[in-house]
Amino acid sequence: MASEKHILVALVANKPGVLNRVASLFRRRGFNIESITVGHTEKEGISRMTIVVNGDSATVEQVRKQLDKVIDVIKVHDITQDSVVDRELALIKVKTTSANRSEIIQIVDIFRANIVDVASDSLIVEVTGDEEKLNSLFRLLGSFGIREIARTGRLAMTRGIPAS
């Protein structure tokens, strides 16, 4: 079976230790979590985890079923095959000189990114988009010298109103 990226969304109780229990389940199964994001939802006391992991469908389905059994996990969905909107945020610190600053600003504008900090020898760029967009910007800015990157990991939500 082919290994592919799977996007799992888990609604969990917003309590200490829940993230550790979820991550430990993946560790025990030998999965490397590619990204995991967690945040509050519209319902008080409930958090949403978006977990991206590589694996074949059958194995990821077994992990999904085990996640359903974890205390404080309310509901888990594999939305890999669904129509989704997904985004990631990145901050990129790029080396600059007075000679190349305007070229970097043009590239940032093309990607509809924002410059959020300016120093004499660097810029910090904020960009939001899918993984492909971020990677393309990283490649272009790489020729100027990237000093540091911070990424949020993928957030994903199914389109339309889901069937309950």
Same domain? For 89 and 128 the reply is: yes
Question: Residue 63: which residues within 8 A CB-CB, separation 6 or more?
Answer: 8, 25, 26, 29, 31, 53, 55
- Whole-number Å distance between alpha carbons of 22 and 36: 10
Same domain? For 49 and 106 the reply is: no
**Angle (deg, nearest 10), helices 101-110 and 131-142:** 170
Total tally of structural domains belonging to the chain:
2
Instruction: Please report the beta strands in the chain, taking only residues with DSSP state E, as ranges in sequence order.
Output: 4-13, 33-40, 46-55, 73-78, 84-95, 114-118, 122-129, 146-151, 155-158
State the pLDDT at residue 1.
59
**Per-residue pLDDT tens over the stretch 12-57:** 999 999 999 998 888 888 888 889 999 999 999 999 999 998 888 8
163 falls within a domain:
no
What CATH number did the domain enclosing 142 receive?
A: 3.30.70.1150
Percent of the chain with pLDDT over 70: 97
State the pLDDT at residue 4.
87
pTM (2 d.p.): 0.83
Q: Inform me whether the pLDDT recorded for 84 exceeds 60.
A: yes
- Whole-number Å distance between alpha carbons of 13 and 74: 7
Q: From 82, 113, 142, give the residue that closes a domain.
A: 82
Q: Inform me whether the pLDDT recorded for 162 exceeds 80.
A: no
**Per-residue pLDDT tens over the stretch 97-112:** 999 999 999 999 999 9
User: Which pairs with CB-CB distance under 8 Å and at least 24 residues apart come from 118-121?
Assistant: 121/95, 121/96, 121/97
Q: Inform me whether the pLDDT recorded for 66 exceeds 90.
A: no
**Per-residue pLDDT tens over the stretch 115-153:** 999 999 999 999 999 999 999 999 999 999 999 999 999
